[in-house]
Each structure stands twice: as C-alpha cells, then as structure tokens.
Structure 1
C-alpha cells in the first residue's frame, strides 16, 4: 500500500484520469443531469490545477514508472521543441562525422 508522497501522487493521477473521463463524456453527464453546466465549466481549471500540483511529484513518478532518462531529455518534452530538436540534431550530426 502506498503511503505519504506516493499516496498523494497516486491520488492526483487517479483524479486526472477521472476528470479526463468526465470531460470526454460530459455531454452524456450534462444531458442526464449528473453534472451541472457550472461544474462542467470548472473541469478544465481543476484539471490544470492538479497538473500543476503534480509537478513536484515528478521525480517520484519517474522513478516509480522506470522512465528512462533519455526519454525525458527528448526534444518533444521541451518547452521549445523546435530549438531542442535542432540542438539534438546538431549533437547527433557530430556522431556521424
């Protein structure tokens, strides 16, 4: 059983999964009266808030899921993907010269 930080991180991941599911099926839930339009409009904010709070748990999650460091350094994970891709391509070009 998870404890401490593990439990908090897993709880946030479960909430993200639930919010994502609700967002994808919101039309059904709204039509059936299971959620209100006000609750629906707050889903994106809640999702973003959980993502922001989950950032502090990323080292734990990376270790827990055994994510390779090379994947984390991939250009697609950069805020500036184009510059990161160009840098990676330039670095790799030197390997082949």
Structure 2
C-alpha cells in the first residue's frame, strides 16, 4: 500500500476513535505518536505526546547503550551487526 495512503488511513482511524482514548488504552508506535502530535491542535495533548516520545527515546538510548557495552569486547560478524545496530540507535537518539 502507498505509504502516504497508509498514513492517512491511520490518522483517520485515530481521529475517529479519539486520540485520548488511544493513548489511555493502547501501546502506540513512536511513528504513530508523532503522526498524532503533528495533526492535533490540542496543546495539552501535544505536550503529553512529547513527554511520552521523550521518555521512550530515553529508554531506547539506555537500552541500546547497555546492549552495546555488553557486546563491546566480543567479535564475529553477527556481533558486528548488532553493535552497528545499537550504535545507530544511540546516534539517532542523540540527534533527536
């Protein structure tokens, strides 16, 4: 499915169900939280979403740092892939 169409459909479903209900009852992917945040005018909701996103980013950063440090001295191609993945997560979080 076209990515824009998929995003538009998700947004319509979110609006129909209600942003607050969704946040209270479901685990929402970070990309969907960002989508909701970009498409709401409610300042309180934007602030709430910002806090959720920031908390998740911080958790991701802590977890990636921990996992990277566990693998730091190990060798092998699979380990290299994992270390690269965790470094990318760390770098992405530092950019945000």
TM-score, normalised on structure 2?
A: 0.41
Larger relative contact order (Cα-Cα within 8 Å, sequence gap ≥ 6): 1
Which has the greater radius of gyration?
A: 1
